[in-house]
Structure formats: structure tokens, C-alpha cells
Structure 1
Amino acid sequence: RYIDDGYLPESLVNYTALLGWHPETPQELFTLRQLEQSFSLAGLSRSKSVVSRERLDWLNRQHLRAALADPDKSAGLIQQARAEVAAASGLETASVRPETVATALRLAGDRLTFTKDLYNAVPFMFGDPALDTTAAEQALILVPHEFHIPILNALEHALASEVSESWIGFAKSVAAAAQVPTKHVMMMLRFALTGERFGPKIPELLDALPVDSIKRRIRSAKTEIESR
């Protein structure tokens, strides 16, 4: 059942070991090899074990992150997540690129308890976001209305030529051109690129998305705001 729910075998072994055994150190995250080396009968507890799904979920997040960083394990997880994204999104599996899935897994980070959470965590990595939702509005209202179009115009102009500076430097240049605080440029980028208030760091997202996609999403954001 737990495997079917998406828990990794190493997470279940780790969790089960800790139910009745107390290691000599505060360490909670163990690989199977580490458990073999650390386990001792002296650490067994006589008290009743308390089952905590929250603790199991935490362990699975940590083991998932470690597995994704391991080339021997990550390929299988990427293929698994690819099929799960296709099922959740309605996309054809062939159209879900493994490279995009790998990048999305990295961006999602600790937001993932299971690989099957990927599409809901970062749907904007697999298609342009809807900008007429409550989630999008929560991002947009953080920027004064009179700044919306000037910022988007400045972004369009800046992206018309190749970006030769860091994305932070790019955002500061756009802010100077639009005569607005940099934080408002960042939030307008978040609105246009993700349709959400929270998510990956904007520079990381800008690195992850193709420039053509960034330009298209900014145009769509401008169209959405102008239509209101």
C-alpha cells in the first residue's frame, strides 16, 4: 500500500527502524548501509511506538531529494514522474520531455513529498499558466495597478535583445527603466510566468524556462491585464 502511495522503499525501511530503536546520535535520516552500521540491540526501546504519517512524509521528502541527486537513482524517478505528469495534466507522455521533468523536480525541491506531486507543485513548467485564477490574482494585487503595464512593457523591451547580465541585474535594469521598485518587477514576473504568488526563486525559474516561453508569457500577461 505505501509503495503504491508513492513512498520510497528506503524511506519505509528508515521509518520502520526508528519506530522501536533510538540511535546514539540525533541523526534521523539513514540509508540502508548506515542502518546496518549503526543499529544495535542496546538502542531498542521498551516503550510503545507512536506511528506518525507526518514523520514518514518528512523522511520521504529527504530520501526523494537524495535519490534525485544520485545519478544511479534519478533516471528511474524522472521517468516515473514523467508518466505521472502526463496522467495528471492530460498531456501525451511523449510530449513531456525528460529534461523538463528533471528541471521541474529540481525547482520543486521540498514542495514534493512524492514524485506524483510534481505537476500540482509546478504546473507552469509544463504549459503556460492561467492568469484569470484566484492564485494569479493574489500575486497581481501585490503590485500597484498603475505599475502593471509599465513593468510588462519594460520587460518586453529588455527581452527584445539578448540578456547579457544576471537575472537579478536584469530585474534591476527593468525596474530602473520602469521607475518602480525591483520587488514589483519580480512579482510581475512571478505573475506572468507562474500565475501564482509563491514558488521557485525567480532567477532559477528564468534560467529554467526557454526565452521564447518567457516572452510569450509576458505578452499573455499584458493581454490579460489590458482586457480587464
Structure 2
Amino acid sequence: GKGKLSKRDGDRLGFPVFPLEWHPEGGEVSSGYRESGYLPEAVVNFLALLGWNPGDDSEIMSMDQLIEKFDLAHCSRSGARFDYEKGRWFNHEYLQQIPDDRLAQLFKPVLRDNGIDPDNFSDDYIARACGLVKGRIYFVRDLWDQAKFFFKEPDSYNPKDIKKRWSEDTPRIMGELIETLRGIDDFSCASAEPIVLDWIASKGYHLGNVMNAFRLAVVGECKGPHMFDITELLGKDETIRRINLAVERIKA
């Protein structure tokens, strides 16, 4: 906002001010960018554009690019405006550039913190799960909220989605869906999707209602990446098991 940014403003307004967590003697701990989940290169890029611009529309720049483009003539004479949301955006953009296998390694401590042993899953499985949801994250820790259904079955189902997508006929339709899924030999997205969609069309069912009930049963809510990318990674047996659990647990 307007005015000078004090070190006390950060925690009060919900963002870090220090690069690392600061522990003053006898004072309150102030949060740091590292501990808050920011990537070093994202913070450097963000800070470089406070009070300076490259003279073009470039925003995402490596250290070498920042050095190459730097010119004192492009420094502002007035005070820089600190935009915390822009800093979050930079972190999001840099996370998108991280290879999925490296992101998986960063995600493993988050899995452990949430009671999941990453050794129970292959590195390829974790990397593929990260790759399917990383477009929705700003920090590595956000991967848990976006991808937890890949590592454990839903322990609850979104009440609003139940009210909208789960009717008295849904258990019967889910039973038919299970039989359709059982008959699919190749459970890849490319193979399974047209088979399921053809089945829905042949029965005259409402596509949105069936697919959202399917998603609710597998994920626990009606959001997430492409449904058949999810089922390909989970596999046939786990997908069917979750549908059966949902039919037992959810009441219309």
C-alpha cells in the first residue's frame, strides 16, 4: 500500500519481510521467505524488479539475464511499491519450471509431515502426481491440498458436491460404471476415456452428473486435474475400490 514498509508490517499483514526467519533476542520471531516456501531464484527475480525495469516486457529472468539487462537508466527515482501478490506469482512461475522429478523430492518431506510414507510410492508415481497438479500451486506445501487424493482415499466428501451431484440413482449408475471400468484392459487415459464417455452416451445419462459423481467418489470433491489422468495414475483396482467406498458412505 502507501507509505513505507516496516519490518513489523510483514507478519501483521501476512507476508515475510526477511529473507530468513529472524530470531531477535527477547523479541518476536519474524517470518522469512525461505521458511515460507519461496525459491531463492524467485525472490531474486522479484526483488530485482522493485525500482527497476528491463526496458521491455520481460518479467521472468535468470540471474545472468538480470545482469545482462541491468542499466541504471531504468531505475526509478521514486520509491518502489512492494506487491506481495506479485512475489507469490513469481514463486508460482518458477515452480512450473521445476522438473517433476525434482519437485517430487521437494514434496516428500510434506508427505511425511502429513502422515504419508513416500517410500510406499515410487519416485515416478510421486513425480507424475506433482506434474498433474503443479499448475495450481504457489508453494511446494500447496501440493498436499492439491494432490493428497493420490496418496490416500478421501476421508470425507464435500457436502455441497454431494447435494448437487449425488442423487438416489447415483449408486446404481456408479455400479454400472464399475462394470464398465472392469471391462477396460488398457486403463490409460487415452483408452479409458472414450469407452466411459461412449457408455454414458449409450445410456442417455447426463454427462456432467455422472462424471462429477465419479470424481466425487474418487477424489472427495468435484475439482482437480483431468479425471482420466487421475484414474490412469491410481489404476483400475484403486479406482473401483474408491467408487465402492463412496457408494457405501455417501447418502443422497
TM-score band, normalised by the shorter chain?
Answer: 0.7 to 0.9
**1:80 CA drift (Å):** 2.0
User: Contact 2:55–2:74 (CA<8 Å) still a contact in 1?
Assistant: yes
SS in 2 for 1:20: coil
CA distance in 2, matches of 1:170, 1:38: 53
Q: Do structure 1's residue 171 and structure 2's residue 202 form an aligned pair?
A: no
SS in 2 for 1:162: coil
User: Contact 1:19–1:49 (CA<8 Å) still a contact in 2?
Assistant: yes
Match of 2:165 among 143, 146, 149: 143
Larger helix percent: 1
**1:216 CA drift (Å):** 0.7
Runs of 5+ unmatched residues, structure 2: 1-31
Q: Do structure 1's residue 61 and structure 2's residue 83 form an aligned pair?
A: no
CA distance in 1, matches of 2:95, 2:118: 22
Q: TM-score, normalised by structure 2?
A: 0.79
Residue identity in the other structure for 1:141: K
Match of 1:154 among 161, 172, 176: 176
Q: Deviations over 1:139-165 (max 9, x none)?
A: 233336143123201211111222456
Residue identity in the other structure for 2:112: A
Q: Deviations over 1:20-72 (max 9, x none)?
A: 21121122111222212222222111111111221111000000111236xxx
Runs of 5+ unmatched residues, structure 1: none
CA distance in 2, matches of 1:56, 1:154: 48
CA distance in 1, matches of 2:197, 2:149: 24
Q: Counterparts of 1:1-228 in structure 2 under 5 Å?
A: 1-68=32-99, 74-75=101-102, 77-87=103-113, 89-131=114-156, 133=157, 135=158, 137-143=159-165, 145-164=167-186, 166-176=191-201, 178-225=203-250
Q: Which runs of 4+ in 1 moved over 6 A?
A: none
- Rg bigger for which structure? 2
User: Contact 1:151–1:178 (CA<8 Å) still a contact in 2?
Assistant: no
Note closer, same or farther for the CA distance 1:85–1:144 as it changes in structure 2 (3 Å cut): closer
Identity of aligned residues (%): 28
**1:91 CA drift (Å):** 2.2
RMSD over aligned CA atoms reads: 2.0
Q: TM-score, normalised by structure 1?
A: 0.86
User: Contact 1:20–1:44 (CA<8 Å) still a contact in 2?
Assistant: yes
**1:177 CA drift (Å):** 5.0
SS in 2 for 1:158: helix
Q: Deviations over 1:96-150 (max 9, x none)?
A: 542232122112122211112211222101111124x4x2x22233336143123
SS in 1 for 2:153: coil
